[in-house]
Amino acid sequence: MNDPDCIFCKIIAGEIPSSKVYEDETLFAFKDIQPVAPVHILIVPKKHIPGVNEFSPEDEPIAGKLFSAARKIAADQGVAGDGYRLVVNTGKHGRQSVDHLHLHLIGGKRLEVSLG
């Protein structure tokens, strides 16, 4: 357990149940509990990094693995062909609500234009 107060650390540790779709030595991915589209997956590093502002140069390999996992999961979920959106919310204005870095993979329908 990285941070005993972090909900995503508890999910990674299996202390809170989740619908897991992918796991490797670095990453864990599971279905968002409040999906905004037919496919809504959260891809998270197992290391507790609060957000992009705390992302350090030594974490750079994690960023590459996040994109590779997104590509694999999108294919597994059947959305690679039609496309999808990858989102990282950061801080108050970015409406980040869980302070454990995560990549939203959203797809399965044609998404709204607005990002703001």
For position 51 contacting ligand 5GP by CB under 6 A, the verdict is no
For position 10 contacting Zn ion by CB under 5 A, the verdict is no
Q: How far is the C-alpha of 112 from the C-alpha of 22, rounded, in Å?
A: 27
Residues 14-33 that bind ligand 5GP (CB under 6 A): 16, 18, 30-33
Could you give phi then psi for residue 31, rounded to 5 degrees?
-70, 135
Residue 66 tokens, joined: 């996040």
Tell me how many degrees the CA angle 77-83-89 measures, rounded to the nearest 5.
90
For position 77 contacting ligand 5GP by CB under 6 A, the verdict is no
Q: Which is nearer to ligand 5GP, 33 or 75 (CB)?
A: 33
Whether 40 sits among the annotated catalytic residues: the reply is no
Specify the amino acid at residue 51.
Answer: G
Q: Which residues bind Zn ion (CB under 5 A)?
A: 3, 6, 8-9, 48, 100
